[in-house]
Amino acid sequence: MSCRNNRSKRLILRDQFTMQASLKDICRFTIMLFVLQLYAAHAMPQRHLYSRLTVEDGLRSNYVNTVYQDRKGFMWVGTDGGLQRYDGRQFEYFPFLEIPGIAQEEAKFILETKDNLLWVMFSTCAVTYDYIKQEVHKVPLIGYENTAVRATQFFQDSRGRIWLCTAEHGAFLLDEKARAFVPFSRLFTNCRGFNVCSMAEDSVTHQFWLGTDKGLALLDFSQKTCYTASYNPDHIPALDVPGLQKNITRLFGDSRQGLYINTWAYQAEHPDFHHYDLLSGKLSGDLLHIGALTFMMEDQQGNVWSAGDKLWRFSDNGRTAQEFARDQFARYGLDYTDMFCLEEDNMQNMWIGTSNGIFIFNYNKQQFRTTPFKPATDNRPWPLLEATDIWQHPNGDVWVTSWGQGLLIYDSTLSHLKKQLKHPSDFKYNMLWCMQLLPDGRVVIGAQHANLLLVNPAGWKVEYRKLDALDNRTVRSIALDPDGNLWLGTQWGILAKWNYKHNTIRTWTDGLYRQGRFLWQHIQDLHADRHHNIWVGTSGHGLLKMDTAGRILQRYAVNESRHPLPGNNIRNISPMGADRLVIASGGISLLDITTGKVLNTITEEHGLPVHIITNVLPVNNQAVFFTTNFSAGKVNLVNRKVVHYGRNYGVADETFQLPTTCRLRSGHVVFGSTKSMITFYPDSLLEPERPPDVRIHFFKTGEDVQPSYSPMVADGIPSMVLQYKNCTFTIGYTSLAYLEQDNLTYYYRLDGIDNQWIRANKRQYVNYSNLSPGNYTFRVYCENGEGLATKNITTMTILIQKPVWQKGWFYGVLALLTGGLIYVIHRLRVNRLLATEQVRRRIARDLHDDMGSTLTSINIMSSMARRNAVQEDMSKTQDFLVKIGESTTRMMESMDDIVWSINPLNDSTPRVIARMREFTTSMLEARQIGFTFSIDEKIYSRKLKLESRHDFFMIYKETITNIAKYAHCTFTDIRIQLRKGQLVLRVQDNGIGFNVNEAGEGDGLMNMQRRAYRMGGQLSIQSQIGKGTVITLMFPTT
């Protein structure tokens, strides 16, 4: 307030009381007036704004009976549709299918007794739920199993005991051993004859005050004694108060030993409210008819709240209360039919459960007051204000120009519209844009079509002028330079210097103005500094620094490399001290007038909601309050942190289109919008507090989603173990600051992948893809707009398991397998070499045996032939020569068989069969013996070993040779078949046969048996005299 205004008020007081005041009295009155003015400055009208959650947001029912925040920070909600959990993003439903029928019951109350264990009171029973282990158990009410009870209170006292109060069935106490609720009357014998529907624990004595259908009572739990009005041997004052000997429907005790009591006498139409002070013994009925109180609580600051017919916030003594009115028409108003519960979360947000969903607001943070425009005629609907400029007159009045409503004069608190200057017929004089105080006390106001209003507050005389030099353009901005000249900026880029005393004017435009192209476009703001510079804010050409002669000294714009600005649309210029300017231009920039340098720039990258900044108002050398076209906020130019003021602060559904702001002398800041004026006191805004630690909200790999409970909320560091194929995943995270999400900036990093912290802004998830197997640690935290980070960095370990082929044991097994394979190959090679060596040895032995014996016999017969030739016995000599020839032939045939069998080209079975057919033809046809040679086609795919092939052929050859020499047959049937993996050779002739038993063990038959045995087969010889012979050979093949 100005000193002149204080003196005038002191004279009024002096005349009113008609007394002579001493200097001491004058000082006393001065202090009193200052306090009253300060109080008036703060006592501005307030409209609280609420956030709302309904079935459209995931609630199963809009009838919200209870809301509770657990120790982890999650909100649990009990509705007519059951129990749900809210994490700031979505609701999770818990049907508890393990308990039959519970899913169809209403959840009435919720409390948490120890970590992770919730108690939920349903219609017929209580349920315990460990939300980490996901274990649920039913807790019955003894004597009322499966009976619906109307619970009125459910709480845990200071000793850890759990109590339940009901409307018709009285109170119950949990029996820990029996794991059931026992009726109150069974535990305290002298407490029968009345029903306890509400209880309050004395914060000092820890005794229990009981609200019963017979009035107030006191329970001494240690003595198991109940005191009432009829039994009061200790003369307890509260029990003797007549007004408290009625039916009590609600009872609450605060931390100051005050009792809040709702009584409802039988057949009475309305309940009564009383406050009883246990310390003084005084009963207050000042708020007798405030209605029914369904639920009461004490917040973290010690304030008592009640929900019921209305929402109330009580004073410390309980004798006065602030009402939070129901407003079903406001977009963010409190709209309900019934109100059931209250809950204050860890950020001091109040959650209100109603019949119309959940309403949330923060009483302490809502320091922004809204002053709607209400014309004196008060004809609804009220027109839009569309404020264009705000200025405070030296006498304290606040002047507001508007686009359509003329000039509005408010008192210093903006609580009373004192005057409205509005032209009755010419609309252009009501479409005002800007104001400037002149040295002579008049105020010049810019208007449409080059019109100006000169207003004299002394007699409210208004002089209308039109400046033809302004080309009929709207005057958008005005500034007064140190020389007393007025600088005018217009729509479409005319800058004018007007000497209002001599009525002379000079104008400047850009070079394209005459062509109708308007390079400067609109001049939206002007500022004249103490160095005789004029700062011109254009909407299309950036910021221009000009001297008073109209010369452009410097341009600040996007494309000016040495003097850059984030945008060319300059909406507001506001001085910060004597030599600095704050510029709203696609962001917020700080400019030094003396050096001409841009010192700092804040943009969307640093947290501004949009690039359209309409107002900037410095409040000190660091903090700047700003508005966008739809929101308000504050930025710290030093640490570049941004605070957003939204619904939870009392700002919502406002449009700030024009640079309309003012700092009042009381310290208040006023922003003008299209509908109203927003006022707040910067120092009343709460000190910033750290946001809650970030919680991992979900972990998703493909279609598999790990929810935020188990193991995310478990104590310790949560961890995930993934298979190698799940190397792509999404991590969701959030800080459970339910109304502060717009002010939070998240930072995260994955050790081993991210080299530094990644700024996610408001994004609450991160994707990682195609990560290599290994151990990773994910870290995340957040900061609020004041730059305060969470106390702890949230950590989560992630193990991506290696695939089988990358694990150490796999390499060991692979090495063993490789070694085994090498060993097997080596053994096979060795075995083959050994087998070859055995074949070689056998061949060598056969050669030695057969060839050696044959050659020896040839040598002997040759000697005998020579001897007989000397004796001239030619007949014997000729016989020996024939025998020598036959032996030589047999030796050649044996050599040929051995060479053929070891030739690799003859490894295939078809080659063996072909040689057998060839040999048969040569032996039998020469002796005119007919034969058939039948082959099973499957035999051609079989493979014979080298030794088996040789032995098989030699057995066959011996058989055919014997037939040709000794069988004297005319026909032979030869068949080669495959039976169960064995090759079967059957040779049958129609010769003379022989007696097998008398044949003895000749060399031929013995060789055949020995070869069959070596092949792992069986040789069968069947023959009778005169009936021929059948020889069968069976041996395995591959």
- Mean pLDDT for 284-299 is 93
Return the axis-axis angle of helices 946-962 and 808-846, rounded to nearest 10°. Answer: 30
Which pair of tokens denotes residue 696? 């991992």
Q: List all residues 6 or more positions away from 255 whose beta carbon is below 8 Å from its beta carbon.
A: 203, 298, 302
What pLDDT shows up at residue 789?
92
Question: Which range has the worst mean pLDDT, 208-222, 735-749, 1000-1014?
Answer: 1000-1014
What pLDDT shows up at residue 906?
65
Cβ atoms < 10 Å from Cβ of 532 = 12
Whether the bond into 242 is cis, omega within 30 of 0: no
| pLDDT greater than 60 at residue 494 | yes
Q: Is 449 left (phi over 0), alpha (psi -120 to 50) or beta?
A: left
How many DSSP H helices and E strands does the chain contain?
9, 70
What pLDDT shows up at residue 120?
97
Q: List all residues 6 or more positions away from 380 whose beta carbon is below 8 Å from its beta carbon.
A: none
Q: Is 37 left (phi over 0), alpha (psi -120 to 50) or beta?
A: alpha
Question: Which range has the worst mean pLDDT, 269-273, 287-291, 682-686, 798-802?
Answer: 682-686
Return d(Cα 351, Cα 358) in angstroms, integer: 7
| pLDDT greater than 90 at residue 833 | no
Q: 46 near 367, Cβ under 8 Å? A: no
Return d(Cα 206, Cα 219) in angstroms, integer: 10
Q: According to CATH, where is 2.130.10.10 located in the chain?
A: 369-373+385-684
Which tens digit of pLDDT belongs to each residue from 402-431? 999 999 999 999 989 999 999 988 888 999
Q: 493 near 522, Cβ under 8 Å? A: yes
Which pair of tokens denotes residue 567? 């945008």
What pLDDT shows up at residue 45?
44
Superfamily of domain 694-806: Immunoglobulins (2.60.40.10)
State the alpha helices, DSSP H only, in 200-295: none
What backbone phi and psi angles, to 5 degrees, belong to 210?
-115, 130
Q: What is the pTM of this model?
A: 0.71
What backbone phi and psi angles, to 5 degrees, belong to 55?
-60, -25
| pLDDT greater than 80 at residue 1027 | yes
Q: Which of 13-17, 272-276, 648-652 has the highest mean pLDDT?
A: 272-276
What backbone phi and psi angles, to 5 degrees, belong to 667?
100, -10
Return d(Cα 541, Cα 522) in angstroms, integer: 9
- Mean pLDDT for 202-211 is 93
| pLDDT greater than 70 at residue 12 | no
Compute the mean pLDDT over every residue in the chain, rounded to the nearest whole number: 86
Return d(Cα 579, Cα 577) in angstroms, integer: 6
Question: Which range has the worst mean pLDDT, 117-121, 254-258, 383-387?
Answer: 383-387
Closest by CA position to 518, among listed 491, 545, 496? 491
CATH topology of domain 369-373+385-684: Methylamine Dehydrogenase; Chain H (2.130.10)
The fraction of the chain above a pLDDT of 70, given in percent, is 89
Q: According to CATH, where is 3.30.565.10 located in the chain?
A: 907-1038
What pLDDT shows up at residue 25?
44
Which tens digit of pLDDT belongs to each residue from 301-340? 999 999 999 999 999 899 999 999 898 877 888 999 999 9
Closest by CA position to 527, among listed 517, 519, 518, 535? 535
State how far the alpha carbon of 483 is from the alpha carbons of 318, 436, 504, in Å.
61, 15, 14
475 versus 41: which is more confidently predicted? 475
What pLDDT shows up at residue 905?
65
- Mean pLDDT for 923-948 is 85
What pLDDT shows up at residue 1029?
92
Return d(Cα 571, Cα 397) in angstroms, integer: 26
Return d(Cα 942, Cα 154) in angstroms, integer: 88
Cross-sheet strand order for the sheet of 304-308:
293-298, 304-308, 311-314, 321-324
Which pair of tokens denotes residue 700? 């998703």
In total, the chain counts a number of residues equal to 1038
Return d(Cα 148, Cα 627) in angstroms, integer: 54
Name 474's bridge partners.
none
| pLDDT greater than 80 at residue 708 | no
CATH topology of domain 907-1038: Heat Shock Protein 90 (3.30.565)
Pairing of β 719-722 and β 794-800: parallel
Q: 389 near 344, Cβ under 8 Å? A: no
Return d(Cα 76, Cα 110) in angstroms, integer: 8
| pLDDT greater than 70 at residue 980 | yes
Which tens digit of pLDDT belongs to each residue from 128-178? 999 888 899 999 999 998 889 999 999 999 999 999 999 999 999 999 999
Which pair of tokens denotes residue 345? 């979360």
Band the pLDDT of 844: cuts 50, 70, 90: low
| pLDDT greater than 60 at residue 710 | no
Q: 88 near 364, Cβ under 8 Å? A: no
